[in-house]
Amino acid sequence: MQKFTKLFLRRMIFTLVTLCAICFSAAAQTTAVSGVVSAKEDNTPLPGVTVTIKNTQQGVATDANGKFSLNAPTGAILVFNLVGYEPTEVPVNGPVVNVSLSARQNSLNEVVVIGYGTVKKKDLTGAVANIKGSDIKSQGVSDVTKSLQGKLPGVTIEAAGGNPGSGTRILIRGVGSLNNATPLYLVDGVPVANINNLSQNDIQSIDILKDASAAAIYGSRAANGVVLVTTKSGKSGQTVIQANANYGLQKIAHRVDVLNAEQWATVSNQAHDAAGLARLDIAKNPESLGAGTNWQDAIYRSAPIQQYDLLLSGGNQSTNYSVSGSFLDQDGIVKVTGYNRYNLRARSETSKGPFKFGETIILTREKTISMPGGWGGQGGDPVGSAAKMIPVFGIYDPTAQGGFAGATGPVVNVANPLAQLNLEDINRVSSSILTNAYGQLTVLPGLTYKLNFGYTANFGTGTDYYKRYVVGTLFSHPTNDLSISKDQTDLLLVENTLNYTKLIGKHSIQALAGYTYQKNDYTYLLSARTDLPDGLENIDAGAGTSTTGGNSIQSTLLSALGRIIYAYDDRYLLTASIRRDGSSRFGANNKYGNFPSLAIGWNASNEKFYGSSLKDILSTFKLRASYGVLGNQEIGDYQYSAAVASNINYVTGTTQQKWFGAIQTSFADPNIKWESTKTVNAGFDAGFFHDKLFVTADYFIKTTDDVLLNVPIPGSAGSTSNPVVNAGSLRNKGVEFGVNYTDQIGKLKYSVFGTLSAVKNKVLQLGTGTQQIFGGQPTHHGASSTLTEAGGPITGFYLIKDLGIFQSQAEIDAYKGKNGNVIQPNAHPGDIKFSDTNGDGQITAEDKVYMGSPFPNFEYGFGFNASYKNFDINAFFQGTHGNKIYNGLRQDLESMSLEFNYSTPTLKAWTPQNTNTTVPRAVINDPNFNDQTSSRFLESGSYMRLKTLQIGYTLDGNMKRKLNVHSLRIYVSGDNVFTITKYTGFNPDLGRTGSIFDRGVDFGHVAYPLARTFSVGLQLGL
Amino acid sequence: MKKILIFTLTVFGLFSCKKEVLDKTNPNQITSATYWKTESDVQAALAATYTLFRDVNSGYWGVRGIELTNGRGDDFFIRNDVADLYRLSTFTNTPDNGPVNDFWNGSYRAIFRANQVIENVGKVPGLSDAAKAAYVSEAKFLRGVNYFNLVINFGDVPLHLKVPVSKDDYFVAKSPEADVWKQVIQDFTDAAANLPTSYPSNFVGRATKGAAIAYMGKAQLYSKDYTGAETTLKQLTTAPFSYSLMPNYQDNFLATTKNNAESVFEIQLADVGGTNPWAGENANEAIGVTTAQEFAPAEVAGWFEVSPTDKLFNEFQKEKTTASDFDPRMYATLVWNYPGATFYNKPFSDFQLLFGYSSMFKKYQNFNQNGEITGASGASDYTSSDNERALRYADVLLMIGEALTMQGKVAEGFTYVKQIRDRANLPAIAAPASQDALMTEIRHQRMIEFARENQRFYDLKRWGLLQQEITNSDKVGKEYFVPGKHDYYPIPQSEINSNSKMVQNPKW
């Protein structure tokens, strides 16, 4: 209660001074002014706020109900101050002045969104990371989540493919599941599959619930964390019109170095000679070939990206609204690819008496033009094909159907990538609606009932128009074919919640009880036909055979939930929650799961013993700890029942007709049940020097049991797929730090911030105990590179070890096993020596050893914002350290045993004249398997990237008045400006989707390189 | 106050839902619990088991199966395009080889499906005992063929004879080769007991009693049970069987003369169903094979993956016919630059021989078309409808001949070999005097009679002549052949990884 004593003293002084002032300024006219001061975020009254008249010492403090009254001269300005809130000045316009104070950034009075409600940071016991929309500075990206990389401790954001529109993957506190590690996303309370299609400028804040206590209220879907996105809403009394425009250019950041025609022919001849085979005809005369075709130049371009949006918001005491529209158009750096998106959003809230109604409606339309995945053969998608295509071949051939030339002769069938891009049109148009509507009734003071509806619908149409062509001698497609698929995904959510808030003396209680229902529907239809005439793209035009297909999936979730948040005197905090979920994904015995959690916290800085001297340094300090159980059910539907698959047809009869076939083709486990994750979390939040420096830290242990996974069963059991079973146990342990320092030196305002997360994972148990899951096949034909087994990390790299190059036949002959036999009898000088780890005298899969993990030892982000007069600058770096990447594309390009293009290091292939090299000899049939999956292609994936650099200029008062605008800022921005890494592939931030067991493997067939963007933009407020 | 409370609770109650809401059944597929109700269910199950023989990735008579069964022979070359295939043909393959892994998995899937038929046919109401026995026999035949294919390629393999009930049933250790042969012969014996001799026209192509007997005899021959093989196979030379050699050898390899008199067991293929041969097991799959497209020359947009070696080319020329022309089997199997040679309606001189060999494969190619891209349905789906003949009467005759010769009955053995020679218009010769001489003749005849028919490598293996014949050939990679190791494929690495009871083959 030193606060109160201090204030009382201040009050006394102010009154005395005021009296003196009155004596000395008899000429000033004063009126009685009163009002209520409340918190902007949740309208709770704020006691203890000092209200002073500017430039005087006169003032009062607000009482327990936030009320104040004093006498002030007309035209005076009142200054409102409270620790933890932004100082606010308001002119005296009348006898009543009501003021809302906004919480200071990162202070404990900030309001944080948690499930089904909000709570002040000081009352929060869980681990929640929060970011404001205004902190998401980078503009040259199409997807808001890309700008979050490295900004939130414990949250890893990776690209999910580099192609435009591909979105991101968010991982919270490591990988907690082997099946599906995506968190639960909610936009204004409505579950969505991902947030890739939101416009950045629509976002008010993103709150990420990381530990069990925060997320348990979402129970069954929260095991991987919860991402809560709140879109902007209007503020009473302020009508805002904001327009933003941004235009940028993207260029490929890093290519792979491959040979030109003359160099390739030289290496190819070397390889054929070494194997004693005839040289290829096309390589016969290297000098005459010159540089040939640069295939990578042919497919990449400088691509523009532009975004425009407009936001209108405003409101009064009873209603507020926010309406926005945006347009984004992004061309891909690979020719032909691109993405565009239209968004329209409306949000409003109306209160009258005990009622409050509100809704959010977001309409989105997206179109994605993708590159084909491959035309068969061994090249893969155009990015992979461009690296592998032999530079001797030309791009165009006007005499060929389709107009493109291609590979001829006895070479690997890699397709002309430009032909792939131009002769097959693949696009997807997707329209979505997200609606949220709620009605809230204040039944009794402190008791509110809320009925919340959410509905999302996504309508997608995928089109694949495959033109007729002859490309070289290896690729031929005689008819134009068209395939169209339509899918619809609906979600309906109905939630009833009852919320009770009460303050009894020093005890504050917030209780919640609820009952929810969620239903998902998915339907899919496909229609395709062959042999269309040129230029027509409709199914009816096709003269050939038709193909149709369709299926549907339904799932439901029923839940009951409850939570209590209790605080004693703002010092001792307790949160307890429980949720019971029933899911249609499991069989009759295991439909339900219970997910409880408990958390405690202590606001040490509010204690009596906390001296003021300590407060000057450590102004706020809170300790928290929590424990909880969360569930995961992200497997396919109907996995618990074995199905009979149909249309496994054969042929029969003298007239050779189709013979319909159907049979059970795979196994199922009827007893699969919920995956459950137990998390223990301990952390603290500390503010130093009056909250100038803010530090948050957490330590957690997350254990997942009954991991649902397709456990590989032997092929000899005869199933076409691996059944989903509960078969494992994982543990993730880690620490997270977040630091933020804000200060001002004269006119220079700056803030510096950083995050650091380190997570270690371990597989405690897997399948049958000795179960091993192999994954990460790096090339079309290579052996797997990763292994997951009990006692080791998830998807660690297990590789045969490369020990260098045999320099002479004597070395080869000396490399013997225990039985005296030469271990690598097929080796010649210049071949790679492999480690016979198990000592059995042969190099086999049994010689694999653990060589590193695709997960980093730690990830970090740091940056600063600074502003001086009208200029501002912000920069943000992000990186990882300690992760390894297996470079599959390099395994192909450095192989020299296959007939396609090779990478530049092969110019230094071992020869008796050039022995000081790490690249083995060129030999076309590779009897020693130099190019097998081994540690030769495992590289360090650590990187540090300057993710965003932005410099802006805000117009000052004079200019603003001239242009009649409220605010105007222009800026230039760079994204992915530079990357410091040792990795030689396209991008160490791999973006590989699909199985967790393929993580960390750069599979050349599905790559899309990283783009560097420079853009200019303006932000206008009217 | 109270009113508001009651109102709230009522609203709460209204929106609470019933438990049945959580019971969702798959709207796209029936579950196995409700299957096996009618005869057509059984037939559909058999169709799903047969069709694995032609599966594009794993089928023994699908394109990869043709490549991996023929690829190691001294008469076959596979080019360096699909690395795994090149490696297995040059004896530089490793246990993670993709096509070998797929073939292993495909065979066991067929075995799982056959086991389902065997165990569930009894449940179907309304089927006569005779019908049930016939269906069980058909399933046992299919199981037997799959185990036959597995044992000649891998040696010791696990025996799955029941549908797995619990998770422990997935993991079975491998059985010694001799036990697998016993099971194979048992399955064929059971099959031969109840299969019909022939089918009505709408089911021509399914396994007949003759097919089961032929395979049983073949298994006995491979097991060196020569007396058994003789007795078994001779049944096929008399009533009720009416097999005979086609006068025109080429009729065995054309799509227009399928399921003919010489055919004992044929894999049925047609460009029906869907239009995508790589669609997977669903309605979009074209139910032919892509083999002809993959083997066709570049000049007709084929992928020219294989070539006959010159050893084979020369073997055909060792004897001319009575009209002093090349052996008709040479004209049917290969195409080379002879006067008037045409291929795909073009003179053969338009084609370039890319690998240094003198000929290309013609057998099973649709060489009367302009190319292989357009299937018989008219769609450009790379699908060939030319049935693969898994077992021909010619093989039966030569097997009887071999069985007799190995028992020392040389004169009688020669009468069977003579039928093959006569069909090929070869001049009459005196019966060879010794067992060795006749065996040499049988080996020669088998090499040129069955080229490209998945026999050569396995014949050499059972004669113990792999090392000798591969060394004496122009086969690329012959220097990497290790006797005792490359006789068999290694157990696929993924099987070793997932089956704790599995042990790798020796020397791998």
Average pLDDT over residues B445-463: 96
Exposure string of A156-170, with b = 16+ CB inside 10 Å and e = fewer, is bbbbbbbbbbbbbbb
Spell out the residues 6+ positions from residue B25 whose beta carbon is closer than 8 angstroms to its own: A638, A641, B31
Q: What is the pLDDT of residue B114?
A: 96
The CA distance from B323 to the nearest CA of chain A, in Å, is 36
Q: With 90 as the cut, is the pLDDT of residue A419 above it? A: yes
Angstrom CA distances, A65 to A32, A44, A197, stand at 19, 9, 43
**B352 close to A (CB below 8 A):** no
> pLDDT tens digits, residue range A161-195?
667 777 777 888 877 677 777 888 999 989 998 88
Average pLDDT over residues B217-231: 96
> pLDDT tens digits, residue range A613-643?
777 788 888 899 999 888 887 777 777 777 8
- Higher pLDDT residue, B343 or A412? B343
Q: Where residue A43 falls among pLDDT bands split at 50, 70, 90?
A: low
The CA distance from B268 to the nearest CA of chain A, in Å, is 5
Q: Which of A629, A596, A679, A633 is nearest to A518 (CA)?
A: A633
Are the beta carbons of B283 and A547 closer than 8 angstroms? Answer: yes
Enumerate residues 199 to 218 of chain B having a beta carbon within 8 A of any beta carbon in chain A. 201-206
Chain A interface test: which of B151, B166, B275 (most A C-beta within 10 Å): B275
| The pair of three-digit structure tokens given for residue B263, joined into one six-digit string | 């055919």
Are the beta carbons of A1010 and A165 closer than 8 angstroms? Answer: no
> Mean pLDDT across chain A, nearest whole number?
86
Residue A667: its chain B contacts at CB < 8 A? 164, 170
Chain A interface test: which of B5, B52, B112 (most A C-beta within 10 Å): B112
Q: Cβ separation of A641 and B94 shorter than 8 Å?
A: no
> pLDDT tens digits, residue range A354-366?
999 999 999 999 9
Q: Where residue A27 falls among pLDDT bands split at 50, 70, 90?
A: very low
Exposure string of B66-91, with b = 16+ CB inside 10 Å and e = fewer, is bbbbbbbbbbbbbbbbbbbbbbbbbb
The Cα–Cα gap between A356 and A240 comes to: 23
The Cα–Cα gap between A595 and A633 comes to: 13
**B128 close to A (CB below 8 A):** no
Are the beta carbons of A488 and A518 closer than 8 angstroms? Answer: no
Q: What is the DSSP string of B184-229?
A: HHHHHHHHHHH--S---GGGTTS--HHHHHHHHHHHHHHTT-HHHH
The CA distance from A299 to the nearest CA of chain B, in Å, is 25
Cross-strand pairs, A227: A185, A208
Residue B164: its chain A contacts at CB < 8 A? 667, 717-718
Q: What is the pLDDT of residue A23?
A: 41
* pTM metric for this prediction: 0.79
Residue B154: its chain A contacts at CB < 8 A? none
Are the beta carbons of A950 and A138 closer than 8 angstroms? Answer: yes
**B234 close to A (CB below 8 A):** no
Are the beta carbons of A153 and A738 closer than 8 angstroms? Answer: yes
Q: With 70 as the cut, is the pLDDT of residue B12 above it? A: no
Angstrom CA distances, A191 to A210, A434, A936, stand at 17, 9, 44
Spell out the residues 6+ positions from residue A705 whose beta carbon is closer than 8 angstroms to its own: A675, A676, A677, A678, A729
What crossing angle do the helices spanning B456-463 and B63-70 adopt, rounded to 10°? 30
Q: With 90 as the cut, is the pLDDT of residue B244 above it? A: yes
Share of chain A above pLDDT 90, in %: 41
What is the ipTM score, two decimals?
0.91
Spell out the residues 6+ positions from residue B282 whose beta carbon is closer than 8 angstroms to its own: A549, A647, A648, B274
Average pLDDT over residues B81-85: 88
Q: What is the pLDDT of residue B6?
A: 61
Are the beta carbons of A710 and A638 closer than 8 angstroms? Answer: no
Q: With 60 as the cut, is the pLDDT of residue A316 above it? A: yes
Chains A, B: CB contacts within 8 A come to: 332
**B180 close to A (CB below 8 A):** no
Q: Which of B32, B53, B74 is nearest to B144 (CA)?
A: B53
The top-scoring range by mean pLDDT among A172-176, A455-459, A584-588, A789-793 is A455-459
- Higher pLDDT residue, B39 or A147? B39
Spell out the residues 6+ positions from residue A587 whose beta carbon is closer than 8 angstroms to its own: A640, A641, A670, A671, A672
Exposure string of B39-52, with b = 16+ CB inside 10 Å and e = fewer, is bebbbbbbbbbbbb
**Chain A: residue whose CA lies nearest to B306:** A410
CA end-to-end distance (rounded Å), chain A: 46
Q: Where residue A673 falls among pLDDT bands split at 50, 70, 90?
A: confident
Residue A649: its chain B contacts at CB < 8 A? 47, 51, 272-273, 283, 285, 287
Q: Cβ separation of B112 and A470 shorter than 8 Å?
A: no
Average pLDDT over residues A452-461: 95
Angle B120-B121-B122 from CA coordinates, rounded to 5°: 90
Enumerate residues 491 to 530 of chain A having a beta carbon within 8 A of any beta carbon in chain B. 494, 496, 498, 515, 517, 530
Q: Cβ separation of B287 and A658 shorter than 8 Å?
A: yes
Peptide bond into B240 cis (omega under 30): yes
The top-scoring range by mean pLDDT among A134-138, A172-176, A984-988, B417-421 is B417-421
**B111 close to A (CB below 8 A):** yes
Identity at B6, one-letter amino acid code: I
The Cα–Cα gap between B197 and A964 comes to: 97
Q: With 90 as the cut, is the pLDDT of residue B409 above it? A: yes
Only one residue has tokens 């990478």, namely: A903
Are the beta carbons of A225 and A172 closer than 8 angstroms? Answer: yes
Q: Where residue B133 falls among pLDDT bands split at 50, 70, 90?
A: very high
Q: With 60 as the cut, is the pLDDT of residue A543 above it? A: yes
